[in-house]
Amino acid sequence: MHEMALCESLRSAIEDAAVRERFSRVSRVRLSIGRFAGVEVEALRFGFDIVMRGSPAEGAELVVIEEAGTAWCFDCSATVAMAHRLSPCPCCGGERLVPNGGTEMKIKDLEVT
């Protein structure tokens, strides 16, 4: 389950930020996760609670903001919103699409004390 590895990377980023910004506790972590990022949100939530034990984010609330997926269509040259990676272009019905948004996972912000 790669969500555990994502949580470990998240913990490392939070610990680095705690040293750099001089805070000791995180009460809320807001993550932006793109629709095409391949992250199972419930598995991430489960892993978050386990991996954050003993860190500044132990007991923190995890807020996940789902970002829309977008793709560029080779057939009509439009950038379009996509619900699913394999959906046809909603403008022209073309099937040659390259995802160009919604593939990222980012820390939006931390609520700290």
Sorted by where each starts, the structural domains of the chain and their CATH numbers stand as 2-68+102-112 (3.30.2320.50)
Segment 22-45 shows an average pLDDT of: 96
Residues 52, 17: Cα–Cα separation, whole Å: 14
As to burial, measured by CB atoms within 10 angstroms (0-12 exposed, 13-18 middle, 19+ buried), residue 24 is: exposed
Residues 7, 4: Cα–Cα separation, whole Å: 5
Residue 1: pLDDT over 60: no
Predicted model pTM: 0.83
3-state SS, residue 4? helix
Residues 58, 91: Cα–Cα separation, whole Å: 46
Residue 110: pLDDT over 90: yes
Segment 56-65 shows an average pLDDT of: 97
